Structure 1
Amino acid sequence: MTLPDSIPPVDWMTAAPTRSLLAALGAGGAPVRFVGGCVRDAILGLRPADIDLATPETPEVVIRRLQKAKLKAVPTGIDHGTVTAVVPPATFQVTTLRRDVATDGRHATVAFGTDWAEDAARRDFTINALYADADGRLYDYTDGRADLAAGLVRFIGDPAARVAEDYLRVLRFFRFHARFGRGAPDAASLAACAAAADRLDRLSGERIRDELLKILGLPNAADALLLMQQSGVLAAVLPEARFDAATLGRLITLQTAVAAGSQAEPEVWPRLALLLAGDSAAGMAMGDRLRLSNAQRLRLEGLLSLPPIDAAMLQDESAFRLMLYRLGAERCRDGILLAASRQQVDGDLAVARSIASTTWQRPVFPLRGADILAAGFAPGPTVSALLNELESWWADEGFRPNREACLQRLGDRVRLTPEDEG
């Protein structure tokens, strides 16, 4: 296979903000190249999430050139040579060529340089060490193009050394193999990841969380997690997991079917809840360790506390509507998908019901707390308790009783209530 020496410049390479930035950075004559994931994705015909550039100019020079061109410069990672250039509506990361002086598995001390090959050698994977200039000419110092063509994700140089520089690279290996790999993983890279499993506790909870959620969001997350399980990495970062590849695979298939035709990506939270097997205590422990936000904790806890769903609840229309009302459309859909992935209900029916639940209009209970007060009850816990009781009766009746019937039921309930409760 003949590998290209260049690629046609894609739209983000020729867009006005990019051209303005390249003109500012190149004003002193120093070369500026796109680097990393954006080049890899351009070769594959994908749209990159971020645009990174590299230059031999020092961060101070980069900042001066941006300011002279009246572009905003933010020293986001200046100790490591990174400046964020803001060229509305886009932002870019501009990093000075560098080499590692010292590393401890989490942080690196770097020295700036002018050697492109040396800069490439300090990166993680060959497919992430690709460079391209403004005309699309490629610069490949680690055979990344060949690995990309072969679907091979491998560390640059000695895998053990690359992993020891930053242990997060272990999780990144599984994510990138799941995204770009084909066939068996690179044996030496996988072995280095397995050997480092007992050192992943050196990573912060936030870094593990972010990488784990990215892995769970992949279409073939089940395969990635299986590799992680077999290598001992999954137990190291998620000891609460009760992982079964077939079950997670079914959930991903069902989520994909439900999301078909919409712009939304399938959610990772049902996948994580499935790994925790409904164990709320495990979810709390994991949430603390991985520093989940309050919103993330609430979302996960809602999934872990879902009541059991069986086939009878889906096959009976009134039972299904009652479940929708009590759980809400989102939780109902999640519960059905989780039950189907565990083969507790039929998968095809689960998809149909899940889609139906997204458009179902929740009926409105006709009574309010004011109606309870008007019936003679004093403000307090009795009001909400009686309102909940009446709402449950109304729901059990298939939401059919109107306001008059609900008031009649309230009147009957008042007559049965001892006077000292009023």
Structure 2
Amino acid sequence: MTILDLLPDRSGLDRIWSILPQARLVGGSVRDLLLGGQDVHDLDLATPEPPEEMQARLEAAGVKTIPTGLSHGTITALIARVPYEITTLRRDITTDGRHAEVAWTTDWQEDAARRDFTINALFCDRHGEIHDYFGGQDDLKAHRLRFVGDAGQRIEEDALRILRFFRFDARFGGEKPDAEALSAITARAGLIAGLSGERLASEMLRILVGPHLMRTLGHMDEAGILAPIVPAPRLDRLARALDNGLPEDGLLRLGVLSDAPDLARKLRLSGKQSERLARMNPANRLTSFDRDGGVMPEAAMFVPELSDDCLRRLLSCHPKESLIDRSWSAQADSGEQGQSGWDILRARLAAMVVPVFPIAGRDAVALGVPAGKDIGVLIGAVTRWWRARGCLPDRDACLRELKNRLPLSPQGLGR
């Protein structure tokens, strides 16, 4: 029995090995198989054949291929709709901290030497034999994450490895990070500034849903790399929120960790992500309405005791997810711990049906109101009336109110 027997289905691999018998599984899949095979997902392979040759062999055998990265030696083979990424063995010619110029090689150890960590530089051939050139198996058993070779050189080749170190150390490391790695990271913390916001965000959001989060962030803070990525981090607030059961949602945890106004811009988040962060930020007031339908900015006092009417008014203006997000930040700021009114508030919000204003401008047109700006003013007035009553009046009630405000006149519009 070999570790390959832990795979629920190896038929795709066997098909590839019948065509490329020298190919070997590499990286995370080998590591995870050695740990029992529970978390194996992508099955990536390496092979000594140049990319054009391996692609030609696969296609000649009837395997569909996709040239996903030919310039980097990578193709994707599709077998029974399962993708297998296969990459030619490589060696680095030059690196600039973000990208590498590579050349093909047939030397397995040379390829392993350019990888990031020893536990990710493992190969497994078609017979199930492990090929370990840098002690990755021993490191895996000892819960020790080490860079391959010189830690400083690995970081200078790609500064994103700083964040990858902390992400992998949280999962596979021990209580304290490898001293050589931490020293090299601290000395090169400034290289973070040369990375794109998108790359930083991708790694940071993964770290935020990983294990031992507060320990990991503490190590990042000590190394001087947390604040350059997440401005004004509030570790205390995040710790309180985690103690209260903060969900495994990277963007939510990011918003609790920092409410810096330039956070979304710095990490080049998408428009949707940026909007979500802005809505959960306590510095940005929520919009609600008083009993007469007027704007009530003091709704920034987001507390568990809000009435159902107020919650429905808020739901008519803000996504439910945003209000639930906001409750986590507000609870952490309040200092309340454990089961509390905030849990009840979130349950109330989750159970509520989002109110939708039941009439539109076409209903005013159907009643004979001429097209024009007066329709918007009229519908706006009825909307305020509807919200002032907790968003409860149904379509018939709103239509009656609309009729009551006709004919259009300064007096009618002002009701």
Q: TM class, shorter-chain normalised? A: 0.7 to 0.9
Q: Is residue 2:19 matched to residue 1:24? A: yes
State the AA in 1 paired with 2:321: E
Aligned to 2:294: none
| Structure-1-length-normalised TM-score | 0.83
Instruction: Give the direction of change, closer, same or farther, for the CA distance of 1:340–1:34 in structure 2 (3 Å limit).
Output: same
Distance 2:322 2:20 in 1: 51
Distance 2:34 2:349 in 1: 41
Q: CA deviation at 1:161?
A: 1.1
Instruction: Give the direction of change, closer, same or farther, for the CA distance of 1:316–1:377 in structure 2 (3 Å limit).
Output: same
Distance 1:22 1:78 in 2: 20
Q: Is residue 2:238 matched to residue 1:248? A: yes
Distance 2:394 2:158 in 1: 64
CA RMSD of aligned residues (A): 3.0
**Range moving further from structure 2, 190-199 or 405-414:** 405-414
Aligned to 1:369: 361
CA contact (8 A) 1:363 1:399 kept: yes
Query: Deviation string for 1:366-390 (max 9, x for gaps)?
Result: 4332344456654344433442333
| Structure-2-length-normalised TM-score | 0.84
**Range moving further from structure 2, 77-86 or 124-133:** 77-86
Aligned to 1:66: 58
Report how many aligned residue pairs link the two structures: 398
Aligned to 1:262: none
Distance 1:150 1:301 in 2: 43
Distance 1:143 1:354 in 2: 49
Query: Deviation string for 1:247-269 (max 9, x for gaps)?
Result: 22343455656xxxxxxxx3322
Query: Deviation string for 1:169-196 (max 9, x for gaps)?
Result: 1111111112222201111101111211
* Residue in structure 2 matching 1:10, options 6, 12, 15: 6
Structure with the bigger percentage of helix: 1
Matching of residues 145-294 of structure 1 within 5 Å: 145-238=137-230, 241-252=231-242, 254=244, 266-277=248-259, 279=261, 282-283=262-263, 285-286=265-266, 290-294=267-271
Instruction: Give the direction of change, closer, same or farther, for the CA distance of 1:409–1:142 in structure 2 (3 Å limit).
Output: same
Distance 2:338 2:316 in 1: 22
CA contact (8 A) 1:336 1:354 kept: yes
Distance 1:123 1:246 in 2: 35
Instruction: Give the direction of change, closer, same or farther, for the CA distance of 1:115–1:354 in structure 2 (3 Å limit).
Output: same
Distance 1:231 1:205 in 2: 19
CA contact (8 A) 1:215 1:221 kept: yes
Q: Secondary structure at the match of 1:9?
A: helix
Instruction: Give the direction of change, closer, same or farther, for the CA distance of 1:42–1:343 in structure 2 (3 Å limit).
Output: farther
Q: Is residue 2:30 matched to residue 1:34? A: no
Distance 1:269 1:370 in 2: 39
* Residue in structure 1 matching 2:89, options 97, 105, 114: 97
Q: Secondary structure at the match of 1:249?
A: helix
Q: Is residue 2:315 matched to residue 1:324? A: yes
Q: CA deviation at 1:364?
A: 4.0
Q: Is residue 2:328 matched to residue 1:343? A: no
Instruction: Give the direction of change, closer, same or farther, for the CA distance of 1:160–1:283 in structure 2 (3 Å limit).
Output: closer
Distance 1:133 1:253 in 2: 45
Distance 1:366 1:83 in 2: 53
Matching of residues 365-404 of structure 1 within 5 Å: 365-373=357-365, 377-404=369-396
Q: CA deviation at 1:404?
A: 5.0
Runs of 4+ in 1 over 6 A off after TM superposition: 419-422
Q: Percent identity?
A: 38
Unaligned runs of 5+ in 2: 287-298
Aligned to 1:125: 117
